[in-house]
Every structure is written in structure tokens, then in C-alpha cells.
Amino acid sequence: MYRTLSSYLKEKYGMKIKKICIDGGFTCPNRDGTCGTGGCIYCGERGAGEHIDGLKSISEQVSEQLASTKADGYIAYFQNFTNTYAPVEVLRERYLSALTDDRIKVLAIGTRPDCITAEICDLLKDLSTKVDIWVELGLQTANDDTAKVIHRGYDLSVYREAARLLMENSIPFVTHMIIGLPGEGEADALRTADEIISSGAFGIKIHSLYVMEGTELAEMYRKGLYEPISFDEYTETAAKVLDRIGDTLVVHRITGDCPRDLLVAPEWNTDKQRVINEIRRRLGELK
């Protein structure tokens, strides 16, 4: 079928591993005026951390989730906003404050390609002697025209340079892509998948684009400037992307999640298992 994250973790660690999501208290260059102020058009006020209690310290967030989530091992995932966007000494302190328990096997760091530097790679290499590390890069699309539409704030060459730096320093990375971006179709999704494969990523996250309350995309939707991708089109395209990937990448997710109280459209996004089942069914037909 395809290499799932759960099978990869079981093979690598020989135990049940669960993810705990952390708000590291960072912002984003696409919000503080460095390359933009409103963020990407689909990004909400919490920067994809709508379900995280960012009012608590990092160590408190970790301790509470360790107590409430039963597993043999854990991934500490700095999820929302840009988690390499600070001076290196600040990054070191915040990352280390999450490593409060020997059961934490992986430190996963969500960020942007334009916030990867040689200095940050040196820090990650140093920390990798204490815990396994992977970086998650938000590419979303390989189409620079679409990148302008969604206000991503960097072009494809920046992703390629970040990938090169990470590969050069033996730091594994996962790349995010979105299916259903404005103006994009199946060919764009396959091109993005090809770019991720060729970049040296070890993993991929495939997201469906949903319209969330409080975003620029929600305004576009209500003005009739954006029509969400249909269930059939999404599942068919995602299946073709997975077929393209084969077993070359570890697949961390194959759809997107929006809090129900913030979802504007499409309605099918609320039934995650139905989406996954249909993608797998379609993928089976391609074999």
C-alpha cells in the first residue's frame, strides 16, 4: 500500500509511539512583517495549533500530555507557527525544555524552508546526540505562481536550499503538501510530490485544503473567489500522489483536520475515516 508513520515507528523503535503537540511560543516571518503580516491565506490565528494550550509552559504542556496519553514512547512535536524562527540560544532552551522524560524518542520541529540556516543545522546536529530529530517543512506546492496566491512568502529555490542544508547535515525532514490549493489540479499535486521525492525528504504529509473561520481563504470562499476541492477529486488525487510515492517516503498523513467549530467548508472534511478509506480504495484500484 504505502509506508505509514505507525509502521515506520514500530519498525524503528519496536514500541507504541504517540505524538504530543507543543506550542513553543514562536511567531512566523509571514506574520511579523519580515515577509508578510497576514500569514498564508489558509492559516488561522493559532498557526495550525488550534487544539494546543499555548498559555502553559513547554514543560507543563509536555508533562500534562505524558500523563494523559498512554504509550511506550513519544514524539515531542513543536507544531504551530515557525519553530526555528528565533536566535539559536532561544531555540536550544525551548527544545531542551521539552525533553523532560526518557520516553520522548523524537523531537519533531515544524518550520518554514526560509528559516533553516547552517547555524540551526549545527544546533540540531548537536541535539541529535540526545534524541532523534526530524524537521517538518511547509512546502505546500512546487508551483511558484500558486505560492504567490497563497502568500507563502518564498519560492521553490528556498525549499531546495533548505533541503540541501538538511541533507548535508544528515538531518531527516518531512515535507508538507496541500491538495486543492486555488487554481491547482492533479498535475500540480503530482509535480509537488515529485519535487518532495527528489529533494531527499524521508517523509511526507498530505493535507486537504479546508476553509477555516478567521482566514483570508474564508473571505475568498464567501465572495465566491474559491471553491473547495470535492471529496471525489481529493481522494482520487491523493491516491495518485500515493501511487507516485510508492514506498520511497514515510507517509505521515493523507488528509487534513480542522476543528469542527472552525470549519467553514467542505463538509466532507469532518469525516476523516471516510476520506482515508476512500483514498485507500482508489489506491488499490491503481495497483
CA-to-CA distance for 103 and 131, rounded, in angstroms? 10
Domain ranges of the chain: 3-286
CA-to-CA distance for 158 and 113, rounded, in angstroms? 6
pLDDT of residue 47: 40
C-alpha cell of residue 235:
481522494
Fold of 3-286: TIM Barrel (3.20.20)
CA-to-CA distance for 148 and 207, rounded, in angstroms? 19
* pLDDT by 10s per residue, the chain, length 287: 899 999 999 999 999 999 999 999 999 999 999 998 889 999 876 444 445 555 689 999 999 999 999 999 999 999 989 999 999 999 999 999 999 999 999 999 999 999 999 999 999 999 999 999 999 999 999 999 999 999 999 999 999 999 999 999 999 999 999 999 999 999 999 999 999 999 999 999 999 999 999 999 999 999 999 999 999 999 999 999 999 999 999 999 999 988 889 999 999 999 999 999 999 999 999 97
Q: At what angle do helices 231-245 and 186-199 cross, to 10 degrees?
A: 30
Strands (E), 123-164: 132-140
- Give 32's DSSP letter: S
Q: To which H or E segment does residue 109 belong?
A: strand 104-111
